[in-house]
Every structure is written in structure tokens, then in C-alpha cells.
């Protein structure tokens, strides 16, 4: 999934407060909407839901949408569904 992300996000190995290694995912907010949408569609396709992606993903209210929020929501959904399987 990350291989298709282009410039939309990157994964870095860092350390937590106790010095243990952890993965840190940075979803970029400056990426053009078209590139973010490609990533969103790839994540949604990986879920295998076979339905249209919900329009409410990334909604902030007042007609505003956050692409990084939508990507984060999709990644969380992916991990929740994987944990349930």
C-alpha cells in the first residue's frame, strides 16, 4: 500500500518516550487533491468492500474536506477490519 503513496505520505522508524522503536506515519497535507484521491482509492480497493467509498470521509464540516484526514480514516478502517478477521 505504501509503495503506491507517492508523495502523499511517508513512514519513518523513530523512538517513543521510552526509547523503543516505533513506526511513525506522516500524511502530507500539501499534496494535490488528485494524488491524495489515488491513494484513497487504492486503500479502499485494498479493503475489498466492493462498494463506493463513503462521501463523508475527511469531512470537516461547512463543506470542507481534509485529504490527510480521509487517508488517516481509511488506514484506521483498514487496520480495524484486519484485526476483526
3-class SS string, the chain: CHHHCCCCEEEEEEECCCCCEEEEEEECCCCCHHHHHHHHHHHHHHHCCCCCCCCCCCEEECCEECHHHHHHHHHHHHHHHHHHC
* Range 4-13 average pLDDT: 72
**Host domain of residue 46:** 2-84
pLDDT, tens only, 13-48: 999 999 999 988 888 888 888 888 888 999 999 888
- Domain count of the chain? 1
pLDDT at 4: 44
pLDDT, tens only, 54-74: 989 999 988 899 999 999 999
Reported as a pLDDT band with limits 50, 70 and 90, residue 6 is low
pLDDT at 49: 75
Whether 69 and 75 have beta carbons less than 8 Å apart is answered as: no
Amino acid at each position: 500500500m505504501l509503495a503506491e503513496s507517492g508523495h502523499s505520505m511517508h513512514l519513518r522508524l523513530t523512538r517513543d518516550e521510552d526509547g523503543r522503536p516505533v513506526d511513525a506515519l506522516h500524511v502530507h497535507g500539501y499534496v494535490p487533491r488528485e494524488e491524495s484521491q489515488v491513494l484513497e482509492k487504492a486503500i479502499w480497493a485494498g479493503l475489498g468492500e466492493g462498494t463506493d467509498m463513503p462521501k463523508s470521509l475527511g469531512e470537516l464540516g461547512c463543506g470542507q474536506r481534509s485529504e490527510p484526514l480521509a487517508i488517516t480514516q481509511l488506514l484506521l478502517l483498514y487496520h480495524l477490519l484486519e484485526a476483526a478477521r
